[in-house]
Amino acid sequence: MVTPPPPTPRTPPTPQTAPAADRHERAEQRLHTAGVAYRPVDSAEAASANLAWWDADADDYHATHGEFLGESDFRWCPEGLLEADARLLGEVRDTDVLEVGCGSAPCTRWLHTQGARAVGVDLSGGMLRHGLAAGERTGIRVPLVQANAERLPLAGDSFDTACSAFGAVPFVASVETLFAEVARVLRPGGRWVFAVTHPMRWIFPDDPGPTGLTATQPYFDRTPYVEVDADGRATYVEYHRTMGDYVRALAAAGFRLTDLIEPEWPEGHTRTWGQWSPLRGKLFPGTAIFHTVKERQT
C-alpha cells in the first residue's frame, strides 16, 4: 500500500499485542484480501472499504508506529517533522482547530496541550478506540467524532484552522467534496494545512529499497489503487492526485495556496515507514504538505 488510511459501523478488531512480520498481514487476512487492482471506486465503496481496513489494521498500526508518533505529539510525516518545530498552523491558543482523519488523535491531543479547542474526526472506530485509550492514559481527553470527512457532522464557520497528517485526503473518492466540507466548517481566513504522500511517489513501486527507485506507473494515470478480496470487492482504496489536481481542487473550494512544504529526509534519521526510507528520502520527496488559507465563501 502507498501510505505509512454511509459506512456500516464495524465491531473493533480483537486487540493484538505485536505487529505481524508483514506489517499488513493480519488486516489482509481479516479482510480476505486476495490481490491488487486498479479500477474506479466510488465514494460509498471507498468509505466502506477504508473503514473496514483501518478498523482491521488499527492495532498493528499502533504497535508499529505508535512510539514514533507519540501519544500527544504532532508529527506531520514519516520524515519526522514536528509541528512544535515547523509551526505551520501558527498560534493555536484559544482557537478552534479541527483535525481531519485524526486516527488515534496524537495531533489533536498535542493541539489541546497548546491551548487549542481541538476536535478530531476519523472514519474508523478502531482508530478512535486507540484515541480514547490514549486519552485515558495521558489524561488529555479531546472530543473525537466518528464520521466520513466527505460529510462532516459539524456546523459551518466553526473552526479557525483545519489540519490533517495523512488522514482522509488520500482515501476519499472526491477530494473536491472533502475540501468543500473543510471550507464550509472553516471561518473566513482560516488555515487548511494537510500532509499527503508526495504525488511523484505514485510512479514508483511501493518499496523502500532499490526496487522503489525505478518508475513503473504513469504519473498521469489517476485510476485508484485498490486491494480486493476474491470476489473483487475493495478491501482498501487509495487515490492519486497530481500536484495540479490538488491546486485546482483547493482553488475551486476557495483556498489560496500559501506554501507547499516538501520535508527533506533528515541526516541521521534511519527509521523506515512502509515505502519511506533513508535511501529514497535522500533522492526525492516523500511528503507534500499543502498550506492554504480560506479566502472566500463558496
Ligand X SMILES: C[S@@+](CC[C@H](N)C(=O)[O-])C[C@H]1O[C@@H](n2cnc3c(N)ncnc32)[C@H](O)[C@@H]1O
- The residue ranges that bind ligand X (CB under 6 A) are 3, 5, 47, 50, 54, 69, 101, 103, 107, 122-124, 127, 148-150, 165-168, 171-172
Q: Give the single-character DSSP code of 58.
A: H
- Half-sphere exposure for 130 (CA within 13 Å, toward CB): 29
Instruction: State the Cα–Cα distance between residues 177 and 50, nearest whole angstrom.
Output: 17
Quick one: how far is CA 16 from the chain centroid? 23
Minimum separation from the CB atom of position 3 to ligand X (A):
5
Nearer to ligand X, 175 or 228 (CB): 175
Instruction: State the Cα–Cα distance between residues 246 and 162, nearest whole angstrom.
Output: 16
Minimum separation from the CB atom of position 210 to ligand X (A):
25
Nearer to ligand X, 113 or 295 (CB): 113
For residue 250, report the phi and psi dihedrals to the nearest 5 degrees.
-65, -45
Quick one: how far is CA 105 from the chain centroid? 11
Nearer to ligand X, 5 or 281 (CB): 5
Minimum separation from the CB atom of position 82 to ligand X (A):
12
Q: Minimal CB distance to ligand X: which residue?
A: 103
Nearer to ligand X, 84 or 215 (CB): 84
Place of cell 491546486: 247
Nearer to ligand X, 138 or 295 (CB): 138
Minimum separation from the CB atom of position 167 to ligand X (A):
4
Q: Contact at 8 Å (CB) between 146 and 123? A: yes
Of 288, 287, 265, 284, the closest CA to residue 213 belongs to: 284
Minimum separation from the CB atom of position 38 to ligand X (A):
19
Instruction: State the Cα–Cα distance between residues 116 and 143, nearest whole angstrom.
Output: 12
- Half-sphere exposure for 197 (CA within 13 Å, toward CB): 24
Minimum separation from the CB atom of position 46 to ligand X (A):
7
Nearer to ligand X, 73 or 207 (CB): 73
C-alpha grid cell, residue 96: 478552534
